[in-house]
Amino acid sequence: MSKDDAGRDGRLLITLGFASIGILFLIYARLGGTVITPDAITAIKRLGVAFYIMLLVALGAIAYGMYQYHKQKILKNEGGLMTIVASITWNAKSRKVFLITFVSYGIFFALTSGILVYQPDVIFSKHYDVIVPSAHITPCCGEIGYVPKIIVYITEHVGLQIIPINLILQIIVSYLVGLNMSIAVNAFSILKKNTGIGGIAAITGLFIACPTCAGTFLSLFVSATGAIAFTLAITQIQTVLIAVTIPLLIITPIIMARKIRNSGWSCKIES
């Protein structure tokens, strides 16, 4: 397929978006790892702001590329598995299910990963000596993908801790869970033997993000010792969870599409 075709069907935008994110992480890791002096703090903070602006642009390019790819698969109607996936998720019902699932799962993911922080027993303005509401960027220092952080104090008990890698993983996993759900709604009778695959992937996906942040949420329900022990356990298996979750969520729609094609249902799905 020519470069023009790749551009029209969105694959070029998707590739450029992910490549840009990777390059952005590497550049910031190099620049953010320099020695921080009082005179350089302002410049580093501006660099952190620029990082998030470019990250949002890259994510926007990926989202538009996915839309173009989805649309072109339907227009070309080549009959492959991805065409079936695109067709059964293009109708109004599927889009509504996808949006509800994407938002709901995203909020749940944010709570369990520590992106959305709720601490009823802590008063932020007193405990952290900050102004509420307020927001600030922490440009340095940490592992690649974990800086710069954005800390937002929304109320005295609710805040946000945005970490780049967590944000990206949240969007990816929430998108894949929403896609799986929108397919299953249209083909539940065929795929009920396989829904467990998507369910397992969705559950393990909750713990992909920074496991040390999960302790914030867990500490509301268990003792401090229990939360620390659980956090350490999750840290040990984080790589396994990342390796298993996203591939499962990618494979499941393909399994569903194959069953739909084999059953002959693809011609009966509203597209």
Question: Which pLDDT score, from 0 to 100, does residue 57 have?
Answer: 95
Is residue 197 within 8 A of residue 252, CB to CB? The reply is yes
Position 176 in a domain: yes
Number of domains in the chain: 1
Q: What is the pLDDT of residue 213?
A: 39
Whether residue 130 is contained in a domain is answered as no
Residue 222 lies in a domain: yes
E strand or H helix that includes residue 47: helix 41-76
How high is the pLDDT of residue 265?
56
Give alpha helix (H) positions in 77-149.
81-88, 92-113, 124-127
Instruction: Report yes or no on 32 lying in a domain.
Output: no
Span 138-147, pLDDT tens digits: 777 767 777 7
pLDDT value, residue 59: 94
Helix (H) or strand (E) holding 4: helix 3-8
Q: Provide the pLDDT for residue 8.
A: 63
What does the pLDDT read at residue 174?
A: 87
* Domain, as residue range, for 226: 91-115+163-271
Give domain status of residue 63, yes or no: no
Which residues lie closer than 8 Å to 184 by C-beta, 6 or more apart?
191, 195, 198, 256
Specify the pLDDT at position 223.
41
Q: How far apart are alpha carbons 213 and 232 in whole angstroms?
A: 11
Q: Is residue 155 in some structural domain?
A: no
In a domain, 246, yes or no: yes
Residue 238 lies in a domain: yes
Instruction: Check residue 267 and report its DSSP letter.
Output: G
Residue numbers in the chain where pLDDT is lower than 70:
1-8, 31-40, 142, 187-244, 263-271
Instruction: Tell me the pTM.
Output: 0.75
**What is the H or E stretch that residue 136 is in?**
strand 134-138
User: In this structure, are strands 158-162 and 116-118 parallel, antiparallel, or unpaired?
Assistant: antiparallel
